[in-house]
Amino acid sequence: MKRIIIAVCIGLIFLISCEQKKTEPEFITPRDQYGARYSVGDLGGRPVNLGREAPWVEYEDNTGFVTGKKYKRQTRTYQSKIQAFGFDMRYTDGLVLVVYYKASPYSEKQYNAEINLPDNHWVRVSVYAGQSYNGDLTTRLINSTLETRIESKQNLKEFNYMNIYLPTSDFEYGLQKYVPHPEWVDENTRLMRKNISTPKSLYDIDDLYVQKDSKGKVLTLIKCEHSEYPLARICEQEFVLEPEMKVRISAVFQSVHLQDWKVIQQQAKKVVQGFIVEPKNFNGV
């Protein structure tokens, strides 16, 4: 009798489970205004829809080719972890580049007409989350300064303090300026005079600018390159979006616009947060 009761219970559980599976709505990937499916997923703890504004998207489980077998594309949901994506924007008005045959050609025409100007206002934005987050900017600065460098002073001296920066009391546009260690600069200058090739020439020694809060936490890191070529004079700004979402943003722009770093940051932040989806819109159409 007990066996019969147990068998009946197991059967009921199986039927209930099957019925639940039937009633659960199948996830339908939402589409954008052009009819194309979004790249959906979890970006730093928030659900997002990434459309044609984001021409490349990487998920944490993107493994490419494994043991000679081609990677099979998975169906994405809002539980799929996004680790990186990127877009281009004009920071003066927030225009985002969209290259798609159904989209208006306006942004593409503007981009093509301006991108080769040394003072163009276009910013290449890369967004990192999950395994690629690395948002502890304070530690990264600490590891690039002399007094708190993890490596021994002897090793630093042996390699002429390469990649070591010293803080100054100078501020530019609200940013504290750090300068490369003088022995690092001198060594590179010496090599250049002797025409000795080096992987880190004088032109590759970046200026470093830092924004901190009142407690010394690093909020923004900006490195600006030197180059004899105007288009190569660029800055890379890094900042995080916490507590809104666990995301690190890299924004690359022409160095002549360093004074606009706050505007660039605000515009990039606005675009990224614009991809967030409200819970009521999860299933899409």
Tokens of 19: 């019925």
* DSSP states of the chain: -HHHHHHHHHHHHHHHHHHHHHHSPPP---B-TTSPBPEEEEETTEEEEE-TT-SEEEETT----BTTBPPPPPPP-TTSBEEEEEEEEETTTTEEP---TTS-SHHHHHHHHHTTSTT--EEEEEEE-GGG----HHHHHHTTBSTT-SS-HHHHHHTTTTT-EEEEEEEETTEEEEEE-HHHHHHHHHHHHTT---SS-GGG--EEEEEE-TTS-EEEEEEE---SSGGG-EEEEEEE-TTT-S-EEEEEEEGGGGGGHHHHHHHHHHHHHTTB--GGGSS--
In a domain, 85, yes or no: no
Residue 117 lies in a domain: no
Confidence category of residue 3, pLDDT binned at 50, 70, 90: low
Q: What is the mean pLDDT of residues 272-281?
A: 84
- Residue 204 is assigned to a structural domain of this protein: yes
Higher pLDDT: 278 or 150? It is 278
Number of neighbouring beta carbons within 10 Å of residue 209: 23
Percent of the chain with pLDDT over 70: 73
pLDDT at 46: 96
Domain membership of residue 113 (yes or no) is no
183-216 per-position pLDDT tens digit:
777 766 776 666 655 444 444 678 899 999 999 9
Whether 259 has a pLDDT exceeding 50, the answer reads yes
Query: Is pLDDT at 170 greater than 50 in this prediction?
Result: yes
At residue 20, does pLDDT exceed 70?
no
Confidence category of residue 227, pLDDT binned at 50, 70, 90: confident
Please indicate whether residue 175 or residue 142 has the higher confidence score (pLDDT): 175
Residue 111 lies in a domain: no
Phi and psi at 11, nearest 5°, equal -65, -40
Residue whose C-alpha is closest to residue 75's, from 87, 51, 59: 59
Among 129, 157, 151, 118, which residue's Cα sits nearest to residue 254? Answer: 118
Distance CA 8, CA 2 (A): 10
**Is residue 89 one of the residues assigned to a domain?**
no
- Using an 8 Å Cβ cutoff, are 174 and 262 in contact? yes
Kindly report which listed range (4-18, 32-46, 117-131) carries the lowest average pLDDT score. Answer: 4-18
Choose the weakest-confidence range: 60-64, 116-120, 244-248. 60-64
Q: Are 233 and 118 in contact (CB under 8 A)?
A: yes
**pTM of the complete model:** 0.81
Domain count, the chain: 1
Q: Is residue 244 part of a domain?
A: yes
Domain that holds residue 212: 132-273
Q: What is the pLDDT of residue 258?
A: 97
Average pLDDT, the chain: 83
Q: How confident is the model at residue 5 (pLDDT cuts 50, 70, 90)?
A: low
**Range among 3-7, 33-37, 272-276 with highest mean pLDDT value:** 272-276
For residue 127, pLDDT beyond 90: yes
| Residue 11 lies inside a defined structural domain of this protein | no
pLDDT in tens, 52-100: 999 999 999 875 444 445 555 678 999 999 999 999 999 999 999 999 9
